[in-house]
Amino acid sequence: MENVKILEVINLKKYFPLKSASFRPFAQRQYLQALDGISFAMYKNEILGIAGESGCGKTTTGNILAGLYEKTSGQVIYKGKDISNLKGKELKQWKKDVQMIFQDPFNSLNPRFTVFRNVVEPLRIYGLNKNVNEIEVVSNALEAVELRPAKMFLYRFPHQLSGGQRQRVSLARCLVINPKFIIADEPVSMLDVSIRSAFLELLKNLQQEEELNVFYISHNLSEIRYISQRMVILYLGKIAEIGSTDQVIDNPKHPYTQKLISAVPIIDPNRKRERISIEGEIPDLVNLPPGCRFQSRCSYAEKKCFAIDPELIQIEDGHSVACHLYSRS
């Protein structure tokens, strides 16, 4: 895959202000540090997976890219410009280029609109439906997501469809204005296991045919391994490890990634998996201790880890990790 950078995220931060519990009017405002400076790049025509436990900031990143949240600081560079100071036509173009699928199939479609009305909405927002036959465009989009025959689904309501079909309609709603980016926020986690791979297959093929870039968010590592070429492991708003899927899963470097992979249950009862035990709860995101965020739960933690926050260091081609075990000093 030619590694032409299509999107770059530099030192992205997102702090949510908290109502200060104490009433002192000038009390230093407490912040929930959801994202604390993450940087990564997305290459052309690739599915980038983001994995991590709930509360690690993966959905926040997705929401910032999709424009739902405004970032506190850092940059998101698309076509050489930071998306937050795009104006007018360029902003509209960026809004058209990025679309999003959501986790909850029951609420990701407007219950009062038919499938047709849901899918045609983006066209009507951008006025693209003027000189084109809406029915035809929507039917093609439905056929593209394997909802065949399209006319059978056009005038049905979301509550008449199964979970899998609804997620496909959401995907069709994204494809109808042929975007460059699709942000998928755990699209299959609420679907039955037996029909998940069909949706993942569909997403993979569409990504190849339409030359899309998919930003795949999930807490299920096996899913990420199945669908994405490169992946990022997030822990409490910071990147723990980044690299190609095989590199990260076959020989994980960061202690947290090792723990994450060892905790995934195996389907074959004959093969035993050695469980790395881990103690303690995820620390509170408001007043975080200095140094590495995994220090309270890491068995290799040493003096340095409690003081300095490790940066991302490249340890092999395309595979970098943020842990003092590998820092050169």
Partner 1 sequence: MLNSSKFLADILNVNTLRRMLAGSISMLWWVTNGIITTFRLRELGYQGKIGVFILLFFIFIAIFGKALAPYNPKESLVGTDGKFKSLQTPSLQHPLGTTWQSRDVLSQLLYGCRPTLIAGATAAFMVAFIGVNIGIISGYFGGKVDMILMRFVDIVFGLPFLPFIIVLVSMLGRSQMNVIIAIVVITWRSVSRVVRSQVLTLRELPYVKAAKVMGAGDFRILYLHIFPNVLPLSVLYLAFGFVWAILAHADLSFLGFADPEVVTWGKMIYSAWAAGVMTTAFWWYIPPSICISALASAAFFYARAFEEVANPRLKEQ
Partner 2 sequence: MLLEIENLKTSYRTKEGVVRAVDGVSLKLAKGKNLGLIGESGCGKTTIVKSLLRILEKNGQIIEGKIKFENEDLVKMDEKHFNNILWDKIALIPQSSMNSLNPVYKISSQIFEAIKLHRKDAKKRKGAYLSKMIEYFILMGLDPKRINQYPHQFSGGMTQRAAIAMAMILNPALIIADEPTTALDVITQDQILKNLLELREKFNSSILLVTHDISLVSETCDHVAVMYAGKLVEYGNVKEIFNEPLHPYTMGLLNAFPDIQTSDKLLVSIPGIPPNLISPLSGCRFANRCPFRVELCMEEPRFIRKSFKDEHYVSCHRVDEAENLRTLAKDPKIWKTLKS
Partner 3 sequence: MTYRYLIERTAMMLLTMFALLVIQFFMFRLMPGDPSASIVSGSLTREVQLQLRKSWELDKPLYVQFVNYVYKLLHLDFGISFFKRIPVIEIIRYRFWNTVIFMLVAMIWANFIGIVLACVSVARRNKTGDTALILLGSVCRATPLFVTGIIVLTIFSYWLDYFPLGGMHAIGVGSSTFLGRFLNFDFLYHAILPIFTASLFYFTVPFFVMRTAMLEYVGEDYIALAKAKGQTNVNILIKHLARNALNPVVTSAAMAIGFAISGQVIVEIIFRWPGMGTELVYSTLRRDYPVIQGTFFLLGIIVIFMNYVSDLLYLYLDPRIRYAKFE
Q: Which is nearer to partner 1, 179 or 310 (CB)?
A: 179
Which residues are CB-contacts of 304 (< 8 A; sequence separation ≥ 6)? 291, 324
The interface region with partner 1, picked from 74-82, 108-116, 135-143, 149-157 by CB under 8 A, is 108-116
Piece in contact with partner 1 (CB under 8 A), picked from 88-96, 146-154, 245-253, 279-287: 88-96
Which does residue 21 touch among partner 3, partner 2, partner 1, none (CB within 5 to 8 A, set by kind)? partner 3
DSSP states along 88-141: HHHHHHHHHHEEEE-S-TTTSS-TTS-HHHHHHHHHHHTTTTTTS-HHHHHHHH
Report how far residue 78's alpha carbon sits from residue 86's, in angstroms, rounded to the nearest whole number. 10
Task: Give the footprint of partner 3 on residues 223-282 (CB under 8 A).
Answer: 281-282
Residue 19 C-beta: closest distance to partner 3, Å: 8
- Residue of the chain from 58, 71, 95, 168 that contacts partner 1 (CB under 8 A): 95
Q: Which does 311 bind (CB under 5 to 8 A by kind): partner 1, partner 3, partner 2, none?
A: none
66 binds, among partner 3, partner 2, partner 1, none (CB under 5 to 8 A by kind): partner 1
CA distance 265 to 72: 37
Indicate which of partner 2, partner 1, partner 3, none lies near residue 67 (CB less than 5 to 8 Å, by partner kind).
Answer: partner 1
Cβ atoms within 10 Å, residue 173 = 24
137: its two tokens: 């465009």
* Cα distance between residue 186 and residue 51, in whole Å: 10
Sheet holding 5-17, edge to edge: 31-43, 5-17, 73-78, 81-82
Residues binding partner 2 (CB under 8 A): 53-54, 162-165, 192-198, 200-201, 219-223, 225-226, 245-246, 249-250, 259-261, 263-271, 275, 277-279, 281-282
* Residue type present at position 265: P
Question: CB neighbours (10 Å) of residue 163?
Answer: 15
Q: Least CB distance from residue 25 to partner 2, whole Å?
A: 26
Q: Is residue 209 at the binding interface for partner 3, with CB under 8 A as the rule? A: no
User: Mask 4-43, x = binds partner 3 (CB under 8 A)?
Assistant: -----------------xxx--------------------
Binding partner of residue 261 among partner 2, partner 1, partner 3, none, CB under 5 to 8 Å per kind? partner 2
The tokens describing 162, both together, are 């199964």
198 by DSSP, 3-state: which?
Answer: helix
Rounded Cα–Cα distance for residues 242 and 49 (Å): 10
Name which of residues 124 to 163 contact partner 1 (CB under 8 A).
125-126
CB of 79 to partner 1, least distance (A): 17
**CB nearer partner 1, residue 111 or residue 289:** 111
State the pairing for strand pair 213-218/181-185: parallel
d(CA 74, CA 238): 13
Q: Which of 275, 187, 255 is nearest to 223 (CA)?
A: 187
Smallest distance from the beta carbon of 82 to partner 1, in angstroms?
Answer: 18
Interface with partner 1 (CB under 8 A), residue from 38, 98, 231, 322: 98
